[in-house]
Amino acid sequence: MNPVTSDSFDDQVRRSALPVLVDFWAPWCTRCAGMEPAVREVATTFAGRGSVVTVDVEAHPELAAEHLVLSLPAVAFYRDGAVVRTLAGPRSAEELAAAFEEVLDGQH
C-alpha cells in the first residue's frame, strides 16, 4: 500500500499502467482502521497485477471532494485513468478482491 497525495495522485493513479484500488480513510475513522488489514491483504494478493494506494482525506480533502466521498471508508477503482467502480462502507478482503478481479477482467 502506498499513500498518495494531491501532488502524486495523477502519477500514481491516473497514469498508472495497472488498475488501482484507492482506499479513502482518515486517522479518526475506526471503521477505516478495521478495514486496513483487508486492504493490506488485497495489496499483497494483487501485487504485480494491480496497485493499492491510500488517501488520507483529512490531509487531502480536495481528493475526497473530487471523488464525492461522503462517508468512510470508501474505495474507488481506477482503470485506464478513470474511476470504473466505487464501494462505500467497510468491506472484507474477499469483497475487495472480488471487486478488484472484476475491474481487472474489464467487467467494470
Give the separation between CA 99 and CA 70, rounded to whole angstroms.
20
Size (the chain), residues: 108
Q: Is 96 a catalytic residue?
A: no
**28-to-31, 58, 82, 99 alpha-carbon distances in Å:** 9, 9, 28, 26
Among residues 22, 32, 64, 69, the one annotated as catalytic is: 32
Q: Is 32 a catalytic residue?
A: yes
Given the residues 13, 20, 26, 29, select the one marked as catalytic.
29
Active site residues: 29, 32
